[in-house]
Amino acid sequence: MRTLKTAFISLIFFIATPLFAEEKPDSPLSIDGAVSINTEQAKKLFDKEVTFIDVRKDKDWAAGRIPGAEHLELKKVFSEASLTELVKKDDDIVIYCNGPKCLRSSKASTKAVSWGFTKVHYYRDGMPAWKNAKYPVE
């Protein structure tokens, strides 16, 4: 009887857990003051040697990145001063992270615009889309 009760409780827990699990919100489609770009547009900017800013966690950066990208981890390093060390406020920049479920690139793009960077390209689809397009990764 006890085993049956335990099995029943486990089954209820297994069924109910997904109903209460919080799903990560999607990042916004656009950022006021920034230009939202897709993967093809990102590649064109890459080919023009525009600076790409990777705001992902250190472990994600270590696992692979867009070649030549600069790593400014959002919560530890990304600041107006660190960004200004890499680019001028009127330079084109592309900010990316780990795709639509990653909010880091939207937060970083919003901050960059608020600091007066005028040519911010928000690459919402980020690293997963870049890899899926078979573009170079280092």
pLDDT digits (tens, 9 = 90+) for 28-58: 999 999 999 999 999 999 999 999 999 999 9
Q: What pLDDT shows up at residue 22? A: 55
pLDDT of residue 23: 67
What number is the average pLDDT over the span 131-136?
A: 98
Res. 2 pLDDT band, cuts 50 70 90 = low
CA dihedral 8, 9, 13, 19 (to 10 degrees): 70
Architecture of domain 26-132: 3-Layer(aba) Sandwich (3.40)
Count Cα neighbours of 5 within 13 Å in the Cβ-side half-sphere: 2
Dist CA 106 CA 110 (whole Å):
6
Q: How far is CA 126 from CA 7, 65, 72, 117, in A?
A: 43, 10, 15, 20
Amino acid at 124: R
Q: What is the pLDDT of residues 66-108, one digit of tens each?
A: 999 999 999 999 999 999 999 999 999 999 999 999 999 999 9
Q: What is the pLDDT of residues 3-28, one digit of tens each?
A: 545 444 443 444 444 444 456 789 99
Task: Report pTM.
Answer: 0.83
Q: Look at residue 44 in the predicted model and tell me its pLDDT.
A: 98
Do β-strands 92-96 and 70-71 pair in parallel, antiparallel, or remain unpaired?
A: unpaired
Q: Which residues contact 134 (CB under 8 A, 6 or more apart)?
A: none
Sheet containing strand 92-96, strands side by side: 35-36, 119-123, 92-96, 51-54, 70-71
Question: Does the pLDDT of residue 133 top 70, yes or no?
Answer: yes
Task: Look over the chain and give the mean of its residue pLDDT values, rounded to a whole number.
Answer: 89
Q: State the Cα–Cα distance between residues 45 and 110, nearest whole angstrom.
A: 20
Please report the pLDDT score of residue 25 as a whole number.
Answer: 83
Flag whether pLDDT at 119 surpasses 60: yes
Contact 88, 58 (CB under 8 A): no
Domain ranges of the chain: 26-132
